[in-house]
Structure 1
Amino acid sequence: MLRRSFLIAGTAALALAATSGPHGARAAEPVKVGELFAYSKIAAFADPYRNGWQLAIDEINAKGGVMGGRQIEVVSRDDGGTTADAVRVADELVTNEKVAFLFGTFFSNVGLAVGDYAKQKKVLFIAAEPLTDAVTMSKGNRYTFRMRPNTYMQTKMLVEAGKNSGARTWGIVAPNYEYGQSAASNFKKLLAEMDPGAKVVVEQYPALGKIDAGATVQALLAAKPEGIFNATFAGDQAKLVREGTLRGLFDGRPVLSLLTGEPEYLAPMKGEAPTGWIVTGYPWEQIDTPEHKAFVAAYQKKYNDTPRLASLLGYSIGYTVKALLDKAGSTDTEKLVDTLEGLKVETPIGPISFRKIDHQSTMGAFVGKLAVEDGHGKMVDWHYADGADYMHSPAEVKAERPAD
């Protein structure tokens, strides 16, 4: 019996040692966080985005993790770029993987679907890329937050930057899905506020990824607008630029263009980048603050590549995860939501916070003009537009956003 007692005690001691840290404290379980994105649909944006959040998580874990020593474990999935697949993947992450909360998604309609899932299941969701206002306005809810400046904010930045263009009649070209429709609606609203005498004379909404650039350009030319508002991106935008340049659509016309200055979409155009366009984007190589230079150096060292806007976004979300968990000190959903409302986060482009009234972050965007130098497009005459200065007013939020 004495030998048996020693054997039991020894086994217990071995078990304790196996689950203890160097100071005898029980090793804490990692915090599992779910991430989903359209990795198979938009690789030009998705891969740098994943690199960004992975870099941040690696840095955080190497420095001791969160909540007094717990590592962050990101369980990542491809959401397929469709609403049905995204909701299925979100449910798998929550139900099977038992993640504490979700972040990610790219397409606006997908972000709305996951936001609705978060509302129904009462799980926190931080939308990374979706830009439609509805994520935090008409379809907003207690459990859904957004990182990037929405279409209203970025369009307002462009309209302000182009207010002295002299154009009174405008043409719109935007992809025919939630983001494009939201961008167009905001442009018309903001244009009317800036210049009541201005009007939109032609609107073109090509199917996402299937633009007939020749027909679209011809329709715009036929209406003879004095200015163009563009919300196409990626391959659609490259085709529009090529065909529009060939047919003289942009000659003598101011163009306000969402996203075009982002390296993901600007770099592939090389010397064909349209000069003079007023755009939102990310002139990463020209931002010389210490915080941003440190981010760029770390990114280049890890990936032997230059950062994109998506890289910055992913990295900033990674540190949002850390700030949230450290301040909440818990993975309880209601505690997390309460903590994220008003939470301040340090990012490579300065501090941001998540506004309590609508869960929109104050992250801004860089606004400038396009030029071509040494055969490559770049942003010039740019400035950083602080998102806090371009958000929906509290009255607009109250009128449109459902009560939680």
Structure 2
Amino acid sequence: MEKKKTKSKWKLMCLLLVTMMLFVAGCGGEKQKSTSTGEKPQSAEGETIKIGFVLSFTGPLAPLSDSIKEGFELYLEEHGGKLGGKNVELKFEDDEGNPQVGLRKYRQLVHSEKVDLLVGTTNSSIALALRDEVNKDQIPMIIPNAAADDLNWGKKSDYVYRVSWSNWQNGYALGEYVAENVGKKAVIMGSDFPAGIEVLRSFKAAYEEAGGEVIKELYPKLGTNDFSTYLQEASSLEPDVIYSFFAGSDGIRYIQQYKEFGLKDKIPMSGTLEFGDLLMLEPTGDGSEGYLAGTVYSPWLENDLNKKFVEAYEKKYGKLPNTFSVNGYDSATVIDKALDAAGSVEAEKLIKELPGISYDSPRGPSTIDEKTHNIIQNIYITKNVMKDGKLVPEVIETKEKVTMPETSPFE
């Protein structure tokens, strides 16, 4: 009897010992797995990915950044807070319109916050400052605005893709129309930073190819408050037309002063897409009436997705969307589609899906060019007309599938 009890106790002890060993091994194995793979914690609903934003929420381009944020968040809300079936956490940083601040905020997002993807920037100078870091860190970045041409030419990266437009597209599209329909002698004027310089050179190329002559180029500093000196010089040259590029609050001041200076009814104005956008039209009122622009978006574009987008945007924010709202919306669209196609947030898988990706946008059919990583899109020649007491960019002509050259035509 005693032997049986001893044998039973021995069996029980062995069973307990084996159970404890299995438990310890299981815990140790799980810990090793977590450490070696660096996997992020998952909720019951799936993996959460982090998206970092580097945008200019202060300075002249702040209104653009606010709209980009709104457009992105609307898309996310419409898709249940998920992109590519994954939960999303957004991290917004203000680069203050300063490349050094932008670099610091970028490093904070990438190295401290460990974001999976980036959306940025608003300012071309900051996009150029970040490019080498993005390429070195191999983190995909979707550009929602900054239009520097060299990001698609000499500094093209496998990790950088743009959904807005290039400065070449913004300037070139209107040149031929202005030469053939407005006048052959032009003064061109734009902010003295990469976007302004590149937009004007592209307009000049197209305008002169069509038989026009640029008689003067003027470059006020970004953030100029008083344009009177420049307007006086432009007016004294008696051009047939003045072509302009100013963004955000600079553009609003410029249009207001153009009218105050008595030039609105004296010298026809044409300009970049900003001059046909609500961010300019609403605060300047009839000061923008009659101006021509080469635009990529208007709330009045006739397509089904745009109608739904405008309705949802008005419901959420109590106002009409502008071009930059669509840039944010399209940034989310592209990320969503790329994540779906890749089945992963891994950079090397995503950058195989981003080149050539096509998608429907409120602006019309869009594709990320495989050769330049810039958007291929329609550009609309518009004229600002008053309808029911509201200034509307009326489409005069549509240039379909405007594609940036694969290499720079200026070298």
Q: TM-score range by the shorter chain?
A: 0.7 to 0.9
Matching of residue 297 in structure 1 with residue 311 in structure 2: yes
Q: Which runs of 5+ in 1 are unaligned?
A: 17-24
* 1:398 CA drift (Å): 9.7
The one-letter amino acid of 2:203's match is F
5 Å-filtered alignment, 1:4-403, equals 27-41=45-59, 42-61=61-80, 65-67=82-84, 69-195=85-211, 198-258=212-272, 259-280=274-295, 282-284=297-299, 286-386=300-400, 388-392=401-405, 394=406, 396=407
State the alpha-carbon separation in 2 of the partners of residues 133 and 228 from structure 1. 23
Distance 1:72 1:365, change over 3 A: farther
State the alpha-carbon separation in 2 of the partners of residues 381 and 344 from structure 1. 24
Distance 1:162 1:390, change over 3 A: farther
State the alpha-carbon separation in 2 of the partners of residues 244 and 347 from structure 1. 34
State the alpha-carbon separation in 2 of the partners of residues 49 and 275 from structure 1. 27
State the alpha-carbon separation in 1 of the partners of residues 346 and 190 from structure 2. 40
SS of the residue 1:207 aligns to: coil
* 1:82 CA drift (Å): 1.1
Distance 1:108 1:326, change over 3 A: same
SS of the residue 1:162 aligns to: helix
* 1:380 CA drift (Å): 1.9
State the alpha-carbon separation in 2 of the partners of residues 308 and 327 from structure 1. 29
Distance 1:61 1:292, change over 3 A: same
State the alpha-carbon separation in 2 of the partners of residues 340 and 45 from structure 1. 24
The one-letter amino acid of 1:56's match is Y
State the alpha-carbon separation in 1 of the partners of residues 93 and 44 from structure 2. 30
The one-letter amino acid of 1:311's match is S
Give the conservation status (yes or no) of the 8 Å contact 2:173–2:294: no
State the alpha-carbon separation in 2 of the partners of residues 123 and 153 from structure 1. 26
Quote the sequence identity (%): 24
* 1:221 CA drift (Å): 1.2
Larger radius of gyration: 2
State the alpha-carbon separation in 2 of the partners of residues 399 and 379 from structure 1. 31
Give the conservation status (yes or no) of the 8 Å contact 1:270–1:375: no
State the alpha-carbon separation in 2 of the partners of residues 263 and 327 from structure 1. 34
Deviates more, 1:228-237 or 1:106-115: 228-237
Q: Which runs of 5+ in 2 are unaligned?
A: 1-12, 31-42
SS of the residue 1:369 aligns to: strand
The one-letter amino acid of 1:192's match is E
Deviates more, 1:374-383 or 1:73-82: 374-383
The one-letter amino acid of 2:165's match is P
Count matched residues.
377
State the alpha-carbon separation in 2 of the partners of residues 267 and 382 from structure 1. 21
TM-score (norm: length of structure 2): 0.83
Give the conservation status (yes or no) of the 8 Å contact 1:33–1:72: yes
Offset from partner CA, 1:6-59 (integer Å, 9 cap, x none): 9x99xx9xxx9xxxxxxxx96522122222211123332222221110111122
State the alpha-carbon separation in 2 of the partners of residues 389 and 280 from structure 1. 12
Distance 1:304 1:102, change over 3 A: same
Distance 1:278 1:79, change over 3 A: closer
Give the conservation status (yes or no) of the 8 Å contact 2:48–2:87: yes
Q: Specify which structure has the bigger relative contact order, considering alpha-carbon pairs within 8 angstroms and separated by 6 or more residues.
A: 1
State the alpha-carbon separation in 2 of the partners of residues 89 and 138 from structure 1. 25
* 1:153 CA drift (Å): 1.2
TM-score (norm: length of structure 1): 0.85
